[in-house]
Amino acid sequence: MKTIHFLLLFCILCGWAPSSWGAPAAVSDENIRINADHMDQNGADGIYRADGNVVVLWKGMHLVADHVRYEAATHILHAAGSVVMTKESTVLKGESLVVYMDTGRAEMNPAMLSSADSGVKVTTDKLIRINENEFSAIGTEITTCDMPDPSWKFGADKLKVNLMGYATGRNVIFYVKDIPVLYLPWIAFPVVTEKRSGLLFPQFGYSKKKGMQLGIPAYWVISPSQDLLLDLDIMSRRGVGTGLDYRYIRTRGSEGHITPYLIYDQLEDKWRWQLAQKHKEIFSSSANLRMDVNATGDRTFLSDFGDKSGEYNRQSSDSTVNALKMWQNYALTGYLRYSQDLYAADNRSTLQTLPSLGVAGVRQSIFSLPLYFDIDGTADNFSRDSGLSGQRLHLFPRATILQSYSGYLHATLFAGAHIRGYATDRNDISTDVHATAGDLLPEAGVRLSTSLTRIYDTGFQPLKKIRHEIIPEISYNYVPEHDQQRLPFYDYTDRIIHKNMITLSATSLMNGKFVTGDMTEYRDISRIKLSADYAIDGGRRDLLTLVESQRPWSDLMLESETWLTRQLRITFDSRYNLYENHLSTAVAGIEADDQKGNSIGAAYQMARNEVEYFEGRLSTKLIKPLNLSYTGRYSFDRGAFLESVYTAEYRHKCWSVNLAVHQRPGNQSYTVNFNLAGFGAR
């Protein structure tokens, strides 16, 4: 947590202990050294004086003053006249200093502290060092702005400091320039550079759904590997919500966070809640577990309160658990999914996977021949309150022959079988489905490919050479026609379509050698793939291909990605209907980012007679001191904007303010965030 780290503060006094001081000729402690224009020692009263450009060096501390007096009998050190103490990056300035060496107590009047690490400046009428870790300051002002005319500051009558924890102030006033704008009877500041618990700066906003909003965040550092953010969310129309964000780190890179939210919604007159949790547990390099829990108390919670998390338009809320264990040639997986269909009237018919167990065996050579065996398999338990439920076993073993001819032609031939078994329960419906069923369906295929490569010298800088590779490929896939209507239907694994299909494709890859001075870099320039399917008979399950099923040719599919420069990328994917001579789908995008805070992006997406929209985004720091950004999505088929987000951030050296406007159908919201340099961010 980046909070106000001032009060690194009096660390220049932290290590002081009783010692003897004096002119260099009279001091026996080799750790102390005093230089001055004039030195005087009175042996009778044990007083040592140094005047004019006095410099004291001791245990990493550097002190300069006009005058220094050390009383050997009482072990008291006095410094006066332009006193400056420096230790590491912390500087303390004042007019007079008294140090009681026996007790460690010290006083400076007046005092100004500055810390280069935190940027904090503290001015006080009187600074008192009570002991090694505790201090007291009277008449104090604190800021991270440049002095002597700070843009903002906190003023406190009295400040108590514990270097191992916090500085606490009473009767605190927040000033903008010299104008008081906020009074706090008490406040606590962290006093070290590492993360510390405390209040963060409030957030303000307004929306049509929620009314006026005030967010009060508080941060708690539980341990170096755990922290907790508490957010009190006050809304004039909906009530007071409470959100938590608990983060933790465990061994071997395991980590996670839990974010619950609870509110009594005054508009709906009921309690409403959300629970989100992510966890990654790394047991070893070959075993891990991942959890992603998303649950809400009702189906409209996200549309009402999902603006902050960006989940306001989700269609479902899914909770999943994945476990993986790998060996040299095999992998075992466990998968669990519980879904909430937020668009359905209720969740009784929503299919749940509780759980699924899978096994995967990579290709292994058989008897040192170019013959390989691999297998995929799953055992699933499907559950729902209304509809078909039951268990399914699916195995897909394959035998593959790999051959390469003269290093140019590569051939792959495979044959396998889908083995399926079912045990089915009936819930609230009447259907002709057997309690148990089994099925075997073969599948075979062949793929031929080659690679044609050529390197060109460009003769230009910085692009010296271009490597161009063309990969033509033809493949054939066959699945016999088979009646599967007697099997239950949970997903497309239960309805494997009849295929007798040829796929043709050609891929063009270009990468270049870039030379700038003594630096040589190799990077991609473009990737283009052109492909199409020809169905001899059978069908296809390609939801993006809109060609009628009885026609053999699929859409002509083009996928491309081009890097004009390292910062500029263009993508274009399309499908062209060869029979109707029109585009079926098109997705085009351009992205540019100079890595200096300026970026632009645009994307167009169209599925003929289905959806058509445009998305644009822009972010710039060119108009200093403003950071501006815009994101918008416009639907051509609806003739309206789906979303527009405008943000403007004004940045000063020691503070910033961020204004965001969110415009969505049925709701418009405004948020304002203030940030003070040195604190207020997690």
* Span 190-221, pLDDT tens digits: 655 556 666 677 888 888 889 999 888 888 88
Place of tokens 């965040």: 217
Instruction: Tell me the pLDDT tens digit for each residue of 651-679.
Output: 887 888 889 998 888 788 898 888 777 65
Helices marked H in 423-581: none
- At 263 the pLDDT is 95
Instruction: Tell me the pLDDT tens digit for each residue of 542-551.
Output: 655 555 567 8
- At 55 the pLDDT is 87
Structure letter (DSSP) for residue 302: H
Over residues 446-467, the mean pLDDT reads: 92
Contact 284, 298 (CB under 8 A): no
Ramachandran class of 497: left when φ > 0, alpha when ψ lies in -120 to 50, beta otherwise = beta
Over residues 49-61, the mean pLDDT reads: 82
Over residues 79-108, the mean pLDDT reads: 82
Q: What percentage of the chain reaches a pLDDT higher than 70?
A: 87
Please report the DSSP string for 371-408 in residue order.
Answer: EEEEEEEEEEEEE-SSS-EEEEEEEEEEEEEEEEETTT
Whether residue 271 is predicted with pLDDT greater than 70 in this model: the reply is yes
Count the Cβ atoms, other than its own, within 10 Å of residue 555: 22
Whether residue 24 is predicted with pLDDT greater than 60 in this model: the reply is no
Over residues 475-480, the mean pLDDT reads: 96
- At 13 the pLDDT is 38
Confidence of residue 390 (pLDDT cuts 50, 70, 90): very high
Whether residue 163 is predicted with pLDDT greater than 70 in this model: the reply is no
Whether residue 149 is predicted with pLDDT greater than 80 in this model: the reply is yes
Cis peptide before 355 (omega within 30 of 0): yes
Whether residue 379 is predicted with pLDDT greater than 70 in this model: the reply is yes
Whether residue 579 is predicted with pLDDT greater than 60 in this model: the reply is yes
Whether residue 518 is predicted with pLDDT greater than 90 in this model: the reply is no
Whether residue 427 is predicted with pLDDT greater than 70 in this model: the reply is no
The larger pLDDT score, comparing residue 248 to residue 75, is at 248
Query: Which region among 68-77, 87-96, 220-229, 303-312 has the lowest average model confidence (pLDDT)?
Result: 303-312
pTM over 0.75: no
Per-position b or e across 531-544, b if 16+ CB within 10 A of its CB: bbbebeebeeeeee
Q: CA 665, CA 644: separation in Å to the nearest integer?
A: 10
Question: What CATH fold (topology level) applies to the domain 11-196?
Answer: lipopolysaccharide transport protein A fold (2.60.450)
Whether residue 2 is predicted with pLDDT greater than 50 in this model: the reply is no
Indicate the helix (H) or strand (E) that contains 303: helix 301-305
Per-domain boundaries in the chain: 11-196, 200-314
Query: Which region among 276-280, 357-361, 402-406 has the lowest average model confidence (pLDDT)?
Result: 402-406
- At 405 the pLDDT is 87
Over residues 565-587, the mean pLDDT reads: 92
Query: Which region among 17-21, 393-397, 536-540 has the lowest average model confidence (pLDDT)?
Result: 17-21
